[in-house]
Structure 1
Amino acid sequence: MNSSQNRRRAGIASMIGTTIEWYDFQIYGLSAAVAFDKVFFPEMDSATGTIASFAIFASGFFARPLGGVIFGHFGDRVGRRNVLLITLILMGISTFLVGLIPSYASIGIAAPLLLVLMRLLGGIGLGGEWGGAVLLSVEHAPTGKRGFYGSLPQLGSPAGFLLATSVFAIVSAATGDAFGTWGWRIPFLLSGILVVIGIVIRFAIPETPIFEQQSNDDAAQRKIPIVDLFRTHPKTVLLSIGSFAVTSGGYYVYATYMVAHGTKDLGIPRNTMLISGIVFSVFGIVGSLLSGVVSDRIGRRPVFLVMSAFTILFAFPMFWLVHTTEPIAIWVALALGGLSNGSLYGLMGSLSSEIFHPSVRYTGASIGQQVSAGLVGGTTPLIVTALVADVGQTWPAPLWLVSLALISLVSVLFLPETYRSDPVSTPTKRHHSPV
């Protein structure tokens, strides 16, 4: 197989693999928003049960940095490809088993405890998945197209959410009132089929040429990646964590909190909000691809800074549109939200890998994304729901989104420009954009 075929297959395999992974993760978020309060916390009122469901959702995010460290270590030492097969299997098994957990009415407190265990295992798997998928694509990319290739695995997030939301909408319509009792299990059980497909696709992809080049360096092989990472890139790690804030946390304002807020607080029909999720995902895919292509021409930082500023300016207007409860206004709001969030997330595939040396790249990219996810990703639905309930108004939700976008904007201002950097070295300040 020639190099161009390897590149295409690596990009496609990364995209399909992350789509499956994010489908697995998203169906939990949707279930937590619309069903888990009754299934696993029936003795609580609706608001408290939803907060408890989101707390378990957050537990999966707390496990993701651990997955990033574990699988990042082996990804930097033994290769990207083999580690990605393991993370996909771990994520798939844990998600499939959620669909088989009995309800609280059947086994009592053991039900939510089993749910926590599955979320922890799934979080560890996803923690190691993202960094490897990005590197599989970026390290196969031709010169001048790392932004585009880096955006392909990023499509997995909106594509996975699109798939999850579509399946939920279909299952919800088909099962009707039974959705809250057993219908929600179907999307989890279907994940088993998707994982088998992902394993077959990834198994056929060769190791990245950049890793193979690095693996010939005996000195690099003797290193402990996480130790070397913090010795050589301490500031970059912190800035990487901050740069992910708007995508790690902001995404769940749009994709998870908004579903719960619309259905439970505003009385918007569930299918209307599920359709808004589909709209958000479609425009997220468009934004990811566009930002990747444009960043290959003008740089990562200019695109990121502009879209971060747009997120800040649009946060409150987006909620105003949703509060009209008019379907068209809601869908327009989520379309623009998806475009901005997708554009930012699409950039992170190339940016977060280019700022680290190849010998610690898997570990560095994984820790940046997963620590950010642990801090503000899974906690966002929980924090925002609790704040809104405490003050009795909605303004904490868009304010939280603004705060996350500001953190990311400032972080990227201090990172070097990387779109023209050497993929086998660490970028320096001479690559800064004039922005």
Structure 2
Amino acid sequence: MQRDRSQSSPSMFRLAAASLAGTAIEFYDFFVYGTAAALVLGPLFFPTVSPLIGTLAAFGTFGVGFLARPLGSILFGHIGDRHGRRPVLIASLLLTGVATVAVGLVPTYDSIGIAAPVLLLVLRFVQGLGLGGEWGGAVLLTAEHAPAHRRVLWSSFPQVGPSVGFVLANGLTLTLSATLTEAQFLSWGWRVPFWAAGLLAAAGLLLRTQLSETPAFQELAANETRASLPLAEIVRGHWRLVLLTAGGLAAGYAVFYTVTTWSLAYATEQLHVDRTVMLACIMVAVAASGVATPLVALLGDRYGRRPLCLIGCTVVVVWMVPLVALLQTGRPVLMLAGFVVAMLAFTTMFAVTGAYLPELYEPRVRCTGAAVGYNLAGVLGGALTPIVATAASQGDGPPWGVAGYLTGIALLSLGCFALLPDTRPTAAAPGPATEYATA
């Protein structure tokens, strides 16, 4: 027995590392667009409108990526449930990487006119398709290999990927912003992070081609019990579960993109806070979220998944007004404090979702069900938030409307999580969490 344990540990570390690296690269691709939308895409691709309308239009193209993500989860979820989790990991990374590099090559409005924002829109849609497939494949890679008593911990590694990807994207943007002149940054500097995505994608593909298929899917294939139309089974038998998970996770998305995208545009344009200061504050908060993720995951293994989600939503409800008040000061230390607490509330929910959502579905439809619920939450909480928050923050005084909007989403999420079951495996109450492979 001792030998088996020693052999399983390196395997799980390797799988977790590959999963983390992949999500980091794919979310780097996704986030670098959000940063560019907040800083430069408005004047470069929508120069014929007012600065406010340009920012809203840039955030509109940003939101298109979220609208594409549920479609990507349906497409890649079908592949994952019919043909395996491993093909999803490779195809989604390749698609997102190519689209991101292409964004960095699109000429601006001054060069090709209306074709510029149209191309931007199409490539953002393709980015969203790829990312919609990435999350389901990555979390199932770890969840379906992990031992039941440490499933949340191992499944939290893909959830660290977004923080790593964000820090990479904003770190490169911050470096370029600090070292280039304004003219250089607007001319070509903003494109460099998009070009860098090509190198990251190549490294990720090299790593992922060496992965093995998960035990749960191998068993489905061997027994010929794979779903022929996973989406149809989800719609017929699990639609309520999909809607509840989407509503539950919406608050986390809303908080994340309020901190990382809307606050960046609001503080630089209306409060006149230096761009590099804002990027640094946001990076520190997201890095704190990444560090806290595996620690919160351990609590999820010990105390359950749903309790952590309920706690995270409750913190969001009580923290949104203080967050807006601290942001309004324009003082880096106070803004950072507001961001860190908000991101830790987000982490309390999302650190456990890599295990929680797959555990809610039977193996034959797990890739589709978990991914569709997760990415629908992105539409509810991520796509609309920068647009609504930008519109609600016009005029003098603190943007209390933004705080009210976020509080309302958090209350919705709190109600959804209250209606979901917990899935922590126990000897007394076996359920979906105990049905699939243990390492």
User: By the TM > 0.5 criterion, same fold?
Assistant: yes
Q: What is the deviation of 1:234?
A: 2.3
Q: 1:94 touches 1:122 (CA, 8 Å); kept in 2?
A: yes
1:290 aligns with 2:290: no
**Mean Cα deviation higher: 382-391 or 11-20:** 382-391
State the distance in 1 between where 2:266 and 2:368 align. Answer: 36
Determine the structure 1 residue equivalent to 2:437.
Answer: none
Amino acid at match of 1:179: F
Amino acid at match of 2:206: V
1:321 aligns with 2:329: no
Q: 2:68 touches 2:129 (CA, 8 Å); kept in 1?
A: yes
Determine the structure 2 residue equivalent to 1:190.
Answer: 196
Amino acid at match of 1:212: Q
Determine the structure 2 residue equivalent to 1:406.
Answer: 411
Q: Could you say what secondary structure the match of 1:221 adopts?
A: coil
Q: What is the deviation of 1:364?
A: 0.4
Q: What is the deviation of 1:421?
A: 6.3
1:275 aligns with 2:280: yes
Q: Which runs of 5+ in 2 are unaligned?
A: 1-5, 435-439
**Mean Cα deviation higher: 69-78 or 340-349:** 340-349
Deviations 1:298-356 (A, max 9, x none): 11111211121111111110111111111111111111122111221112111111111
Q: TM-score, normalised by structure 2?
A: 0.94
State the distance in 1 between where 2:187 and 2:398 align. Answer: 31
Q: Could you say what secondary structure the match of 2:189 adopts?
A: coil
**Mean Cα deviation higher: 98-107 or 405-414:** 405-414
Q: What is the deviation of 1:392?
A: 7.2
Aligned pair partner of 1:210 in 207, 216, 219? 216
Deviations 1:359-393 (A, max 9, x none): 10000011101112123312210111122237975
State the distance in 1 between where 2:205 and 2:430 align. Answer: 28
Determine the structure 2 residue equivalent to 1:433.
Answer: none
Superposed CA RMSD: 1.9
Q: 1:60–1:421: structure 2 CA closer, same or farther, 3 Å change rule?
A: farther
State the distance in 1 between where 2:431 and 2:329 align. Answer: 51
Aligned pair partner of 2:127 in 109, 122, 125? 122
Q: What is the deviation of 1:6?
A: 2.4
State the distance in 2 between where 1:5 and 1:203 align. Answer: 18
State the distance in 2 between where 1:332 and 1:372 align. Answer: 26
Q: What is the deviation of 1:221?
A: 2.4
State the distance in 1 between where 2:192 and 2:74 align. Answer: 32
Q: Could you say what secondary structure the match of 2:211 adopts?
A: coil
State the distance in 2 between where 1:224 and 1:349 align. Answer: 23
Q: 2:26 touches 2:97 (CA, 8 Å); kept in 1?
A: yes
1:56 aligns with 2:61: yes
State the distance in 2 between where 1:150 and 1:414 align. Answer: 23
Q: What is the deviation of 1:223?
A: 2.6
Q: Which runs of 5+ in 1 are unaligned?
A: 429-435
Amino acid at match of 1:36: L
Aligned pair partner of 1:80 in 77, 85, 102? 85
Aligned length: 427
Q: 1:360–1:425: structure 2 CA closer, same or farther, 3 Å change rule?
A: farther
Determine the structure 2 residue equivalent to 1:262.
Answer: 267
State the distance in 2 between where 1:317 and 1:380 align. Answer: 18
1:42 aligns with 2:18: no
Q: TM-score, normalised by structure 1?
A: 0.94
Q: 1:286 touches 1:342 (CA, 8 Å); kept in 2?
A: no
State the distance in 2 between where 1:116 and 1:424 align. Answer: 46
Q: 1:287 touches 1:340 (CA, 8 Å); kept in 2?
A: no
Q: Could you say what secondary structure the match of 1:249 adopts?
A: helix
Deviations 1:92-114 (A, max 9, x none): 00000000000100010010010
Deviations 1:246-285 (A, max 9, x none): 1222211111001011111111110110011111111111
Deviations 1:189-230 (A, max 9, x none): 001010011111111111111111122222x22531111122
**Mean Cα deviation higher: 91-100 or 202-211:** 202-211
Q: 1:87–1:424: structure 2 CA closer, same or farther, 3 Å change rule?
A: farther
Runs of 4+ in structure 1 deviating by more than 2 angstroms, as ranges, are 1-6, 220-223, 387-393, 421-428
Q: Could you say what secondary structure the match of 1:101 adopts?
A: coil
1:146 aligns with 2:160: no
**Mean Cα deviation higher: 221-230 or 179-188:** 221-230
Q: What is the deviation of 1:5?
A: 2.6
Q: What is the deviation of 1:411?
A: 1.0
Q: 1:88–1:292: structure 2 CA closer, same or farther, 3 Å change rule?
A: same
Percent identity between the two aligned chains: 38
Q: 1:60 touches 1:122 (CA, 8 Å); kept in 2?
A: yes
